[in-house]
Structure 1
């Protein structure tokens, strides 16, 4: 009569079998993760100096052999600061008038606007005579702008924007809502006197983050910045924005706005968001805009439906590698010219990030793996339910 024999295992055999299984899991898991790795280049080195002008501006400097000298000026005066008694649209009108005057006078300065900052980029010749003349004329613009009444009336045109509507719907009653251009009613209420008061209180050196880079030494850079940014006789506005209440993602007209944690004092978050942006740009070739703020960053994705289709499947290691190379390329390009260095320094300055931030960014790129992308999809791109 046949008898079935159950196989038996000693405790030693069972322990050995478990150990082998664990090793195989680790090996295959590590192999999958390694497929997304790339060979990392050395971290670019920056020779950075930091000081404060007599007028209170925070300045970051790094020398760079270049044909031009670049200065970035970022004032805590963005459209989120257009709170009573200043009407919505005040900052937008102000930079339109400043840019108009700069163009008329052929000054090498251009202004842009973000939620937190009025931003200016100055491009200077290395010729001493030309440089001094331009610095004197730019200082006049920064401290005593004409703010032409005639052009003020012309500048009060509201240009309809789907992004502005989406932005307002996302941030609603919070300061970040704006709207950036204001409304026709709010803009019509703005007069030259109110623009002057806003300019004097908010475009103040003590509310300024600055950077400078070019073929000059530190002493020359300090002399230039002191000449450009003397003390003001007006008091600076003390109001600072605080961390806004978190708001959910919003979608309108096939465009999505994803609010994220801001960049201030948060190098790891800044680096992770930058890496994630590279993944998005690799997966989704349509337009992607990343607006960095002190307390709230904003990711705008056009062609939302196409993007959703692109991220449905688990990310391929080749996409991870491609995104890492893009991120390394972008980070390295920030140290190639005086202009790009000045733009990097101003970000580090205004967000209170360390001067060795590139080391954090390269470490983040190196360690980033596909599991982080899956977590990000859930955290960032979950469609709100109504």
Structure 2
């Protein structure tokens, strides 16, 4: 029996505390974090206004308005994740230097590509920004007329996400939900299963009105509870196919993907959200990441695949970055019951106090 060490990197999540990095700068560990470099990279890709708002928030300014935009939130999360992981990796006494595998949740796969040194930090931020902008434009939430006011952002919330809490009595929730969707033409092109997170949690994506109708019917018929998530983007649904196509062209224009680009072996194989299987080459990992824009995140299947591929091993998970506690919770839910003994460790470092403790070691 051996222990497989797996580094997990967070997705966008619902939001990010606007004071996150400004608080982090005040910790004793700030000398270990290359804050000036991160400021420089943020400013280069997102502008000085973005950097100032993230690092020095105005107490009279509504942080929600600023970070509600996925084109802002995605690069913010990627930048923070990459910088934090990089600085922790450089400390020899921290056992994250050589994970056996990396697992990014949705957007976290972009951070995983940076960890594999396929993308430098500036390129990772650039791609995260493009990904977010293409998604916004794809569903026409803000468009070219979008303007951010001091205390309120004006946009139309016509798309979003709903988390489903599945009762234990339902044995095959994915099959059940898909069957219910297929029964009605009203829902077939407006509501989609976006995340297979755990046996007890799925996420639906699509148009808000249809999401509300559909989840109400699930509550009445099957006692499935729903929780609206703070998002205006129908992540991991066919509604984002155009964003997927545009993003692929960006990768090709940057010489990162295509028939003329060398296919490199990954130093740290990535467990793919798209397939639930382990990607070992750069082209495979990039292709999987892009295709996942319009297809569901198979987080549950990814973890089940680990159990199947390494039945005699135990697993040590380290979840790092803002919103990393989400990954930690999903891992715990997927290793419940008879599989609990396969979980050797499930650690998370996402907040200021946790980093203080980590850097005291």
The TM-score with structure 1 as length reference comes to: 0.22
Bigger Rg, which one: 1
